[in-house]
Structures are given as C-alpha cells and as structure tokens.
Amino acid sequence: MLSCVQFGQYEKILDLGCGYGLIGIYAAKAIQQGDVWMTDRDPLALDYATRNSVLNHVEDIKVIKSDGFYDLRETNFTKILCNPPYHVDFSVPKHFIEKGFNRLVVGGSLWMVTKRKTWYSNKLRSIFGSVRVRVVDNYFVFEATKKSMSYANQTTRSPADLRRRS
C-alpha cells in the first residue's frame, strides 16, 4: 500500500489499526508538516507503536487506544490508511469504510490493502462512488476519495419532496 500512496505537506493522517506503527511512522517521516494519528484496540500494539515512534524520531504522533472509530473523536483526516483484519467477518472493514468516510475531509482518501477484491470494491464504491484498485504482490490496494459529504448510495431529497410523498 505504501508504494502507492503519495504524501504531501500539511496532511492529517490516520493509521487505523496501527499494530506496531509502521504505516504511521512512515507517513510521519514522509510529510513535512502535519498530524499523524495511530489507533489500535490492542494495548501491546500501542506500546510497540509508541516505542517505535520514539526510536524513529517522530514522537509527535498521537497514539490512541480505540477499537476502530469507537473511541476516536478526531475528524478532518486527509488520508486514512489501514490493513483490515482478514480473519474476521466483514463487520470490521464495513465499520472502517463507513465511519472512515465520515472522518475524512472532502477530497480526502481512504486507503486499504487486502487479499480480497470483490467485496471491498463493491462496498467502497457504494459509499464513495468510485474506487481505484491496484494489484501489488498479490494484494489489492484500494484508494477511495471522498467527493461529497454524503454516501454515494444515498439519495438526497428536500423536505418539500418528502412532504409530497407523504
């Protein structure tokens, strides 16, 4: 995934499900100025992520204990990067995609790397409207950019339209 992502200045990046912190640390070193947040639900992973950020001289990364987005209140990310767990049902990546959309700025991107293509392509397209898929070493790297404030699969009706249908 990291071979596909380009980082710019003044980014606000979330490494969602950070594990030991590789993605967040890489992002922090790649951007010249900005914010990097790392979350995981595993306290041991967070301990390693914190230690690794110190060892790599990027101590200003914010490391937060959160199961997905449940305990993270931060918003307005320009990029969210994640490698969702493969050994679970689709409830975890569904949460990452739907709630990730809500935490991005318009123009921001959700990046995911998985071993499965069809479900992720369909879900990302239903929420974001489109998705770009790349194949890297037998993995699928997805990039979905937020183009509006509402999910792509939602139809927007005015209050007058709703009254007429009643």
Q: What is the pLDDT of residue 126?
A: 97
- Residue 5 falls within a domain, yes or no? no
Q: How far apart are CA 73 and CA 63, in angstroms?
A: 13
- Residue 92 falls within a domain, yes or no? yes
Q: What pTM does this model have? A: 0.90
Q: What is the pLDDT of residue 32?
A: 75
- Residue 147 falls within a domain, yes or no? yes
Q: What is the pLDDT of residue 164?
A: 44
How many domains does the chain divide into?
Answer: 1
The residue range of the domain holding 69 is 11-165
Burial class (CB in 10 A: 0-12, 13-18, 19+), 165: exposed
Q: What is the pLDDT of residue 58?
A: 94
- Residue 57 falls within a domain, yes or no? yes
* CATH (domain of 46): 3.40.50.150
Q: How far apart are CA 113 and CA 140, in angstroms?
A: 6
Q: How far apart are CA 85 and CA 94, in angstroms?
A: 11
pLDDT lower than 50: segments of the chain: 156-166
- Residue 160 falls within a domain, yes or no? yes
